[in-house]
Every structure is written in C-alpha cells, then in structure tokens.
Amino acid sequence: MTNDQAFRGTTASFPTLSIITPSFNQAEFLPQTLDSVLNQKYPKLEYIVIDGGSTDGSREIIERYSDRLAFWVSEKDRGQVHALNKGLQRATGDWVGWQNSDDFYLPGAFKSFAVATKRYPYADIVIADIVLVDEAGAPIRDVRYVKPTYESVFAEGMLLANQAAFWRRGLHERVGFFDERYNCSFDYDWFIRLLKCGRAVHVREHWGCLRHHSQTKTSVLAENFAKENLAIRGGHAPSGLSVAYSQLRRLALTLAYGDIGYIMRGLRRRTIGK
C-alpha cells in the first residue's frame, strides 16, 4: 500500500505531530530547515522554533515564517539543550521530533511517518534512515540503520539520528526532558532513555539530512563526546562481547534487507580510513 492510498480521502488518521527547531546564529541554513518542515504540508503539524537570541539575521528569517508557526521566540537561553526543553514543554502533539537549524527533512517524510504509526501501532519510537550532506546541501552518502534497542545503542552509541526520528509525547512522563549536563551527547542520553522504556521500529526510507560543515559539533568536539558518552553509561565502557554482538546483529539485519552494496561501501571506507 502506498502512502497516498493509506490516507486517500481523509486526514483523520494522521497523528498530531510537534516539531521543534532549536536555533542560534545559523541564518545561512535556517530557511531550508523551516521550508523542509512546512513544505511537508502535514495537516496536523505543530511547529515550534526556539531561537537563542541570534544576531545574524535568524530572527528576521523566523519572523517571515511566523504566521505558519505554532510558537516561536528569540531570546537568550542556556544553549541548544535548554532550547529543546523549552520547546518540549510547549509541545502538545501525540508525537514529537526535532530538527536542528542546519539540518532538514526530505519531502514526504511526515506522510511516511504517519503511515508507519498505523502499520506499527505498538511503536513508541519510529526512526528511518538519513543522508549526509555537505555545507551546500549536496549528498555525500546515505546512512542506513536497523531497529534500535537499548542494548545496541548502549553498546555502540548513536545507531539512529534525530533527523529521522519521532517519539510519542507520552514518553516524557516516564523519562523527563533533555539533560542539560550534556552539551554534546545530550541526544545519545535522550534516545538511550527513550529506548529503555519504549518500543522502537525502523522504516527503510530516507527521511532527513544531516549537514556536515566546519562548525558541526561532531567535527570539533570528539573528545567531549567520548567523555559524555562514558558518563551516560554510568562510567563503564560496554564490554567487547556486547559490542561484537550488536555489530553482528546490525550486520545480519542489514543483510536481511539485501543491502550488500551498502555493507561493501562501508568496508571500503574503513579500509581507506574514512
């Protein structure tokens, strides 16, 4: 069944969806982010933009979109994690996701997500695949995931991406909000907590794009990520056995998808050290 067939003639089956964009001084990329959300034309969308008092023209950009936003603010805050929590506290949708102000969704992502919620009514977390793009938004390569579990993410790290992930808002009552102690790995802490109490599914489609540029946190703060990841794991590194098991599970599921070419490309990148 296609996405269009699933909802032909009605939007009553669409779940309400809250999307939060934390923003600070990324005016160069912000319009593409905003357009990628609003151009989904999702009928039950609540879009919340929390800007940290940008001085590069971001506020003016957000103002141009204000009539299509459920809420927006531009004021000094304590950083990205605080901005996300401010957004979460305002969110009222059945489901929630966030998109950073330098990343963007792909066309049709929200409709595919809505179909997935009907196909997997037991799911609390729905993830899909992403595309890595360069500063100009041109594709570098795709990243394909498998169904994440608490154990696999604990062992290997971020085996999913917020650029293509949504969760039930009801989980907030069980896990709270983002932990401001973590500046780099707050997303790892967040998803590992969600996965500890929620059931996840993976949809084999590309829903979002992660932009790689010179100011991306993962480009400049690798040591901080490692320290925070260790703290999130309670100060204990995962055992070699648990890492090997998770890697074998991921390989087996990827092979079951028939993605042999994707595996071979990954092996080639490892061989040349990328």
**98 φ, ψ (degrees, to nearest 5):** -135, 150
Question: CATH 3.90.550.10 spans which residues of the chain?
Answer: 16-102
- pLDDT digits (tens), the chain, 274 positions: 454 554 454 577 899 999 999 999 999 999 999 999 999 999 999 999 999 999 999 999 999 999 999 999 999 999 999 999 999 999 999 999 999 999 999 999 999 999 999 999 999 999 999 999 999 999 999 999 999 999 999 999 999 999 999 999 999 999 999 999 999 999 999 999 999 999 999 999 999 999 987 666 555 578 899 999 999 999 999 999 999 999 999 999 999 999 998 989 888 887 876 5
Integer Cα distance of 274 and 43 in angstroms: 41
Note whether 205 and 129 are within 8 A (CB): yes
Which of 206, 183, 222 has the alpha carbon at shortest distance from 78? Answer: 183
Write out the DSSP string of 66-88.
GGG-SEEEE---S-HHHHHHHHH
Instruction: For strands 45-51 and 17-23, give the pairing.
Output: parallel
Note whether 91 and 20 are within 8 A (CB): yes
CATH numeric code, 16-102: 3.90.550.10
Write out the DSSP string of 92-144.
-SSEEEE--TT-EEPTTHHHHHHHHHHH-TT-SEEEEEEEEE-TTS-EEEEE-
Which of 6, 3, 51, 7 has the alpha carbon at shortest distance from 30? Answer: 51
**Cut 0.95: pTM above it:** no
Integer Cα distance of 244 and 189 in angstroms: 21
Integer Cα distance of 86 and 29 in angstroms: 22
* Residues 6+ away with beta carbon under 8 Å from 38: 45, 47, 65, 68
**133 φ, ψ (degrees, to nearest 5):** -125, 160
Integer Cα distance of 126 and 195 in angstroms: 11
Q: For the stretch 14-33, what's the b/e string if a residue is b when 16 or more beta carbons lie within 10 angstroms of its beta carbon?
A: bbbbbbbbbbbbbbebbbbb
Integer Cα distance of 8 and 2 in angstroms: 10
Amino acid at 192: I
